[in-house]
Amino acid sequence: MSCAAGRQAIWKALSNERDLVVTSNGKPIALLSATSEATLEESLAALRRARSQAAVTAMQQASLKTGADRMSPEEIDAEIEAARSERSR
């Protein structure tokens, strides 16, 4: 299959499936998602919102595992102050 034919097959699959998983050595490394000029910015914003939401969920789960969810406001303030002191050095 030529490069051009391969690209055409990808574009056809994308128009049918709307989303494709790109793999390297059998492992997912990227998503290829159909869009248009009219919806590009909206699609990017939605993707970024989903990533942000996933990051917040991961942080919340990590806090449950470490017990950070049970910290008092005073303990939180002390941690913030320590981090700021460390950064300003």
pLDDT tens per residue, range 62-83: 999 999 999 999 999 999 999 9
| Residue bearing tokens 């950064």 | 87
Helix residue ranges per DSSP H, 18-72: 40-66
Determine the residue type at 62. A
* CA dist., res. 78 & res. 89, Å (int): 17
* CA dist., res. 81 & res. 70, Å (int): 18
Give the count of domains, the chain: 1
pLDDT score of 1 more than 70: no
Other Cβ atoms within 10 Å of 6 Cβ, number:
10
Share of the chain above pLDDT 70, in %: 99
Determine the residue type at 57. T
pTM of the model as a whole: 0.66
Taking residues 8-14, what's their average pLDDT?
Answer: 90
* Comparison of pLDDT for 45 and 2, the residue scoring more: 45
What is the span of the domain harbouring residue 61?
Answer: 3-87
